Amino acid sequence: MFIVCPHCTTSYAIDLATLGAAGRSVRCSRCKEVWLARPQDAVAAPAPMPAMAETAQGSAPPDPADEWEALAREDADEEPPEVDSPPLAAGWPEDMTADAAAEAATQLRGRSTTRLASLARLIRRPGLPVFTGRTLFNLPALTAVMAALVVALLVWRADVVRLLPQTASFYKLVGLEVNLRGVAFRDLKVTTETADGKPVLVIEGMIVSTTRKAVDLPRLRFSVRDAQGTEIYAWNTVLDQTVLKPGERTAFRSRLASPPPEGRNIDIRFFNRRDLAAGTA
């Protein structure tokens, strides 16, 4: 049996069993027309076309299997449809290599990831701190902090006493001198002379600056104490130099005629506000 193309009337020999009861879609190898070929539309022997008659002269009748294979090959050789879509590398230079294109794509992905992370940080709600139970300071670090604190209390003890006067007793208890005035007594010497047949007590020494700024020097106060430490007699002396610059020193000398015979010690210090409150000049 034969099926005939409704468009160009080209006929093809076919086995009706291959069409099935409902028919199947076929395509003409000549005009590319597709139609539904049904068993009831097949004809016994259609008249050959002139062109086909000329082609078929001197050749064997066509084999139906060969014609179906030819149709299948034409379907396979048909070019796929073209789709108008921009390439992935649109806008890149034409001479860009594959490695360069891959690196550029990686950079683009990295920038996108960075922007997404920044956006996430902006919209992230602040959370409460989580304590894992670990100690904030280990033993070596705590020891180092305590050692630094002790050194600071020793080196800057004068500043500490100025801020906290009650700490002066602590430093005195541990045997540390706290010099708030910034000067020190050096080379103290006590001797006895005789003038007009009477004994004269001579006290002399040096005052040295121990600070980096100029210090005002008030009057010196001398006191004689007995064996029990009680003050027996006291007097004041005005210094020749009343301001001591950093690194400077000045000498002092004072005399006491007819010192108390029960005197055992001599105290030397600067005149202060407590002496004013006690009424001693």
Does the residue 105 lie in any domain? no
Residue 167 belongs to domain spanning? 139-173
Contacts of 33 by beta carbon, 8 Å cutoff, 6+ apart: 5, 6, 7, 8, 27
220 and 153 belong to one structural domain: no
26 and 55 belong to one structural domain: yes
Give CA 137 to chain center in angstroms: 20
CATH number, domain with residue 271? 2.60.40.10
Does the residue 40 lie in any domain? yes
pTM more than 0.85:
no
Q: For 221-261, what is each residue's pLDDT tens digit? A: 999 999 999 999 999 999 999 999 998 999 999 999 999 98
268 and 188 belong to one structural domain: yes
Amino acid at 273: R
Does the residue 99 lie in any domain? no
Does the residue 261 lie in any domain? yes
Phi, psi for 173 (deg, rounded to 5): -65, -40
Which of 33, 56, 77 terminates a domain? The answer is: 77
Does the residue 216 lie in any domain? yes
Phi, psi for 80 (deg, rounded to 5): -70, 155
Q: For 164-194, what is each residue's pLDDT tens digit? A: 777 777 777 877 777 777 889 999 999 999 9
Q: For 146-170, what is each residue's pLDDT tens digit? A: 888 888 877 777 777 767 777 777 7
165 and 226 belong to one structural domain: no
Tally the domains of the chain: 3
